[in-house]
Structure 1
Amino acid sequence: MPSTMIEFMPLSPTWVDIVVRLVLVIAAGALIGVNREVGRHAAGFRTTILVGLAACLTMIQANLLLSTMGKTPQSFVSMDILRFPLGVLTGVGFIGGGAILKRGDLVTGVTTAATLWIMTAIGLCIGGGQLVVGSTGAIAAFIVLSPFKWFDELIPHQQKARMEVELLGVAEIAKVQAMFEPRGYAFLFIAKAAGEAGASMNVIYQVRWKHSGADGGALELLTAVEERCKVLSFEMVTTAT
């Protein structure tokens, strides 16, 4: 590859170089952060910018210290200074781990953690002087988080819900299961209890199906069940996000 295509980290960056890097990483963080803020995610506009700034400042500090090591650009790999970005990536790993929440089968925050990770990598690139690489990474991340989300919603996902309905007798339990099986819904009987009416009973099902879209087909399922029996409660366990 020609040397003109490679961006080197200068040994003595000027204040102009530093300001350009900081402004660029703020712009990259804002681009990605707006997408997360619109979706009301845990790591929003300011958090994304701060993570990128932290990574960028770390690499700028490493860059400034390079000139004190008496090394040439060809010997960068032997410098302990380059452990700075490794420490930053480790720290962001803890932050990302805190953003991931698990409640039963429902896991949220994975994309948020990945966003913080890629923003850290972008900040390290820009802070190290690889402006084109960092900017390209920011644009690619924005494309994945925004336009690609539309494609993700078109992919059928495994959905799961917990539903409590009122039935007239024990025989109705199997009838409900058989009624919705041809439509792609798997009703798994969990428990039953006596209903308020004398002969009625409250039955709890776990329902599984595949569906694409933001709501996972929950409204469609709920409407179909309400046409045949009384629904007492309905809770999505997994979603298509």
Structure 2
Amino acid sequence: MSTDLGLDTLLVRLALSLAAGALLGWNREELGHPAGLRTMVLICLAACTAMLLANWLLAHTVTPDTTVLRLDLMRLAQGVLAGIGFIGAGTILKQGNIVRGVTTAAAVWLATVVGLCFGAGAWPLGTAATVGGLLVLQGLKWVETILRRRSYGSVTVEFDAGRTSHAAILAVLEAHGLGLSSVTIEQAGSTGRVIGLGAHRARGSAWSLALLAALHETPGVERVVWEEAA
């Protein structure tokens, strides 16, 4: 950890953290995720400032006359990483049975670490982490689109239990190739409900429209909702 904190050093480190946060935030902003451009820039800038403060404290605490020093400056960085968990958790949203925002939370964590790197003067490491993060966010999304053979989502079916059964609904889902990873079965009086979370191999809207049509044709089905995971 370098303790050389001239004005030029401060400006360079802060500028690098601003640039890294802007690059990571641009990716999230473009895709419409909760933690966008300004959020990422502020997070990265705050982390950089925290490490610069640690450097400043070290430079102004250690002197040639110092004989006993008990100052754990790394606790400052640890506190930043622990505190950022609250922001990361806030980007994770649960909509129905589908969880979104986990990748954005990971990007928030990365922006924090990048800011700490630049604040500590580890410019090559911070630059490499920024480039690696962009490659993962941009490049692997393209690769994932090519390799991905399944689409994920949740289906909710409400029906008259006097005219059909939970087993019949599950049979329709199975017949249309929906591999269920979890199923919730409910019944209140004469109304039954099946909530399933799973994956199917077909892509596009044709499959989901065919599933909705087949479920609506099942006797007793009153309401069907399919929610595709992004």
TM-score (norm 2): 0.77
Cα distance change on mapping 1:176 and 1:102 into 2, 3 Å: closer
State the partner residue of 2:157.
163
Shift of 1:165: 6.8
What SS does structure 1 have at the residue aligned with 2:62? coil
My pick for the range that moved more, 140-149 or 42-51, is 140-149
Task: Say whether 1:181 aligns with 2:174.
Answer: yes
CA deviation string 1:197-217 (max 9, x = no partner): xxxxx874434542369xx75
Mapping 1:36-185, distance limit 5 Å? 36-70=28-62, 79-153=71-145, 154=148, 156=150, 158-164=152-158, 170=163, 177-185=170-178
Provide closer, same or farther for how the CA distance between residues 209 and 218 of structure 1 changes in structure 2, counting only shifts above 3 A.
farther
1:129 shift after superposition:
0.3
CA distance in 1, matches of 2:131, 2:175: 44
Between the two proteins, the alignment pairs up a number of residues equal to: 217
CA displacement 1:49-97 (0-9 Å, x = unmatched): 000000001111111221222269xxxx974222111111111012212
Q: State yes or no: 1:225 paired with 2:189.
A: no
Give the equivalent residue in structure 2 for 1:12: 4
CA contact (8 A) 2:177 2:200 kept: no
Pairwise CA distance, 1:232: 4.0
RMSD: 3.4
- Alpha-carbon distance in 1 for matches of 2:179, 2:195: 8
Residue 234 (1) aligns with residue 192 (2): no
SS of aligned partner of 1:11: coil
Structure 1 position 121, deviation (Å): 0.3
Please tell me whether the aligned partners of residues 35 and 145 of structure 1 are also in contact (alpha carbons under 8 angstroms): yes
CA–CA distance in structure 2, aligned partners of residues 179 and 134 of structure 1: 52
Match of 1:21 among 10, 13, 18: 13
Distance of 2:115 and 2:77 partners within structure 1: 10
Q: State the Cα distance separating 1:220 from its structure 2 match.
A: 1.6
Distance, in Å, in 2 between the alignment partners of 1:212 and 1:128 is 47
Distance 1:227 1:105, change over 3 A: closer
Q: 1:164 to 1:221 in 2, by over 3 A?
A: farther
Counterpart amino acid of 2:199?
K
State the shift of 1:101 in Å: 3.0
Q: Is the 8 A contact 1:184 1:209 kept in 2?
A: no
**Could you say if the C-alpha distance between residues 134 and 191 of structure 1 is closer, same or farther in structure 2, counting changes exceeding 3 Å?**
same
Shift of 1:45: 0.3
C-alpha separation in 2, matches of 1:177 and 1:97: 34
Alignment match, 1:6: none
Q: Distance in 1 between matches of 2:172 and 2:53?
A: 66
Q: Which runs of 5+ in 1 are unaligned?
A: 1-8, 195-201
State whether residues 179 and 199 of structure 2, in contact with CA within 8 Å, keep that contact through their aligned partners in structure 1: no
Q: Which amino acid aligns with 2:53?
A: Q
Deviation at 1:192, TM superposition (A): 8.7
1:211/1:217 contact within 8 Å kept: no
Q: CA deviation at 1:184?
A: 1.5
- Offset of 1:47 from its aligned partner? 0.3
